[in-house]
Amino acid sequence: MAGIKLENLIKSYGDTRILHGIDADIADGEMIVVVGPSGCGKSTLLRMVAGLEAVTAGRILIGERVVNDLEPSQRDIAMVFQNYALYPHMTVRQNMAYGLKIRGMSRAEIARRVDEAADILELRPYLDRKPRQLSGGQRQRVAMGRAIVRHPQVFLFDEPLSNLDAKLRVQMRLEIRKLQRRLGVTSIYVTHDQVEAMTLGDRLMVLNKGVVEQFGSPIELYERP
């Protein structure tokens, strides 16, 4: 298990500075939600932690390790996106197994992890179906399953529920929170939805134009708007 530290994290594209020195100390097992209007830099921040975007200046630590120069696959993270990124021609089982298979994990261990994730997510009955034979909520669960089987130190969520209808969004939000608590995986969750942020986060990072405006628990922020 590992916390995450962001130290004076800066991102520029050419002369344009997108993130102006972000600091955060995220505890082991904590879930923080980064919330703010479109274009404020949420995705960029998350992609830097994932290693999908280079850091201009500052440091990112996962546990004791500075990960700035590590490839995504070496960072011990799993990311969940809004578009699920499921492979349409593969079954649910194959979708969950794929990331482990390409990493050379044994068949027995893969089967064990997929079954474990399927139990946690109540996907057992659907393991042999293709994504198109699933509902939106079930697809989102498979996307979660692909992250869980990796047994990562960190989950990164990039607006994972924004393609779902309102009712399902509320249900999946609760499921994600329950799951995150149960697994105790340190998490960063990005959303532009304030209600989602208030419900999900141990703490909220309110980002505006690349600057942290507020960082605290929902209650702290509510009492000091």
User: Residue 15, SS3?
Assistant: coil
CA terminus-to-terminus distance, the chain: 33
Nearer to ligand ADP, 57 or 223 (CB): 57
Pairing of strands 65-66, 16-26: unpaired
The least distance separating ligand ADP from the CB of residue 124, rounded to whole angstroms, comes to 20
Nearer to ligand ADP, 47 or 203 (CB): 47
Q: Which two tokens stand for residue 75?
A: 């960072």
Smaller CB separation from ligand ADP, 50 or 121: 50
The C-alpha atoms of residue 185 and residue 138 are separated, in whole angstroms, by 21
Residues that bind ligand ADP (CB under 6 A): 13, 18, 36, 38-44, 50-51, 72-73, 77-80, 98-99, 102, 146-147
User: Smallest distance from the beta carbon of 223 to ligand ADP, in angstroms?
Assistant: 26
CB of 173: closest distance to ligand ADP in angstroms? 18
Helix extents (H) in 61-214: 92-101, 107-120, 136-148, 166-183, 194-200
Widest CA span in the chain: 52
Amino acid in position 71: E
Nearest approach in angstroms of CB 185 to ligand ADP is 13
- Name which of 87 and 224 has its Cβ closer to ligand ADP: 87
Residue 209 to residue 201: CA distance in whole angstroms? 21
Nearer to ligand ADP, 158 or 219 (CB): 158
